[in-house]
Every structure is written in structure tokens, then in C-alpha cells.
């Protein structure tokens, strides 16, 4: 089984976010980048298929040379090879077009992408890849089993879970539950050394028009001041909630 895991290079959630050029560009100065968490769940599941079923795992990323340390980490976790499409990931549709071409050229049985990236939270790329490659698709996937050419999966839906079955080739949009956080892997020294020897292929992008552009960014409003009310002053608390907060 050939598996392609799509990897996004995203800011660590602890990073301090700033914007430049009159709030039109994300300022990467001093920002630590990591594998997108939803993608890391997918990569860990792919490692299970590699170890249990002998799958070959390739990772793919759309981005410049600055994303290669993140890709090397994925290789150190256990992926066999990496592909970087050498272009800036401007919008979801252009990213999906680049990745869909990799899928078509590579003949992959299973494509695993995170449900969404934690930077733009678009949640569009996996479904677009499936549409562009005319492949079965499961969104919000929290469980996946493969038996030969058959797949059984569980996905989250409003108010519950849905159990589905389908066939390969298949694209899934994974999230926490596909594996648990406790299952995520930290690269060991052997993995890090081996990752240096694994192939990282750089492809030039296909012609894909950019359909959307970010006009500007705005940070959330800062938290307001906190008023402290003595625990025995119930009348003041009720007055504040009623007349100022207007919640009762």
C-alpha cells in the first residue's frame, strides 16, 4: 500500500503572532514552526500501517525551503520519503491542485491530510484533493482500518459518530481520534540520523491560479479588565451581572 501524508508547516500554538505591512502579511520573525497537529495524527496512523502492513509512506508539503526542517522531522518519525512542491501556499485551491498532481503522478492508495491547519483553519484542502482526483473521501475521520482494498472508518458528525465503509483509493481528512495524543511519536536519535539519508524531492509547481487572497489580518480584542467581588457581597454581584454585564 502506498500512502501519501500531506504535511503543513504551521506556527507553534505557543508562538506570539504579529503582522506586518499594515496588517497584510504574517510576520514570521521569531516564530517556531511545527508539523500541523491534525497532520501529525495522520502521520502517526500512517506509521501504524507501515509497521503492521508494510505500507510505504511518503510525505508532501507545499512550501519553500524553510519548511524542510519540519519535513525532516516527519522523516525522522518514520516516513520513507518526502516531496516538497516549491511554491508559497497562497490559498487552499492552489495548494490542493499542487497536491492533487502529486497524487495523480504517484498512484497512491491512501492520502491522509489533516482536517484543517491550525493557522488558517480553512478545512478545504482534503476535500478538494479528493474532488480533483475523483477519489473517495471521508471527512473528520477519527478511526481508519484497511483490509486489502477495503476501508472501514469512523467520522465525527453533529451530535455523534458515523461508521462508513468504502474502497481504496481513498482520501481522508484526519483529526485527533485517528490516534490519541499519547500515541504521537518523538523522533529518536536513530530516526534523526536516518532522516538525513532519506530522499527529499523538490518539485516545481504546476500552473495553478490563485483564487483567493488575504486582504488583511486582525488580532482578537484584548481581554477586558476583571472586576473582583467579595464572596460575601452577593448584592453587588447580582447588580453587576444585571446592570453591567446584562446576562441576567
Edge-to-edge strands, sheet with 200-203? 160-167, 150-157, 136-147, 170-174, 110-114, 2-6, 56-62, 81-85, 200-203
Q: What is the pTM of this model?
A: 0.88
| pLDDT of the residue at 214 | 86
Tracing cell 490563485 back to the chain, one arrives at 210
> Model confidence over 61-99: pLDDT tens digits?
999 999 999 999 999 999 999 999 999 998 999 999 999
- At 85 the pLDDT is 98
CATH architecture of the region 2-219 = 3-Layer(aba) Sandwich (3.40)
Place of cell 451581572: 241
Q: For the residues 22-26, what does the mean pLDDT come to?
A: 91
pLDDT, tens digit, for every residue of 127-174?
Answer: 999 999 999 999 999 999 999 999 999 999 999 999 999 999 999 999
The rounded mean pLDDT for the chain is 94
Across 21-44, average pLDDT: 94
**What is the per-residue DSSP string for 101-145?**
HHHHHHT-SEEEEES--TTT----HHHHHHHHHT-EEEEEEEEEE
Q: What is the pLDDT of residue 208?
A: 87
244: pLDDT strictly greater than 90? no
Give the pLDDT band (50/70/90) at residue 189: very high
Amino acid at each position: 500500500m502506498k500512502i501519501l501524508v500531506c504535511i503543513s508547516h504551521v506556527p507553534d500554538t505557543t508562538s506570539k503572532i504579529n503582522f506586518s505591512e499594515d496588517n497584510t502579511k504574517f510576520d514570521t520573525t521569531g516564530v517556531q514552526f511545527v508539523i500541523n497537529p491534525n497532520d501529525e495524527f495522520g502521520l502517526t496512523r500512517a506509521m501504524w500501517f507501515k509497521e503492521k502492513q508494510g505500507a510505504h509512506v511518503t510525505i508532501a508539503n507545499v512550501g519553500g525551503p524553510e519548511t524542510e526542517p519540519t519535513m525532516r522531522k516527519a522523516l525522522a518519525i518514520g516516513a520513507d520519503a518526502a516531496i516538497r512542491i516549491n511554491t508559497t501556499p497562497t490559498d487552499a485551491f492552489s495548494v490542493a491542485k499542487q497536491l492533487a498532481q502529486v497524487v495523480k503522478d504517484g498512484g497512491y492508495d491512501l492520502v491522509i491530510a489533516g482536517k484543517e491547519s491550525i493557522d488558517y483553519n480553512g478545512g478545504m484542502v482534503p476535500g478538494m484533493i479528493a474532488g480533483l482526483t475523483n477519489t473517495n473521501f471521508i471527512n473528520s475521520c477519527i478511526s481508519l482500518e484497511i483490509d486489502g482494498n477495503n476501508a472501514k472508518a469512523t467520522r465525527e458528525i453533529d451530535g455523534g459518530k458515523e461508521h462508513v465503509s468504502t474502497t481504496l483509493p481513498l482520501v481522508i481528512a484526519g483529526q485527533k481520534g485517528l490516534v490519541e495524543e499519547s500515541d504521537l511519536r518523538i523522533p529518536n536519535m536513530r530516526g534523526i540520523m536516518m532522516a538525513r539519508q532519506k530522499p527529499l524531492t523538490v518539485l516545481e509547481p504546476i500552473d495553478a491560479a490563485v483564487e483567493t487572497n488575504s486582504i488583511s489580518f486582525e488580532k482578537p480584542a484584548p481581554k477586558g479588565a476583571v472586576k473582583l467581588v467579595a464572596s460575601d457581597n452577593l448584592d453587588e454581584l447580582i447588580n453587576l451581572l444585571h446592570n453591567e454585564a446584562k446576562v441576567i
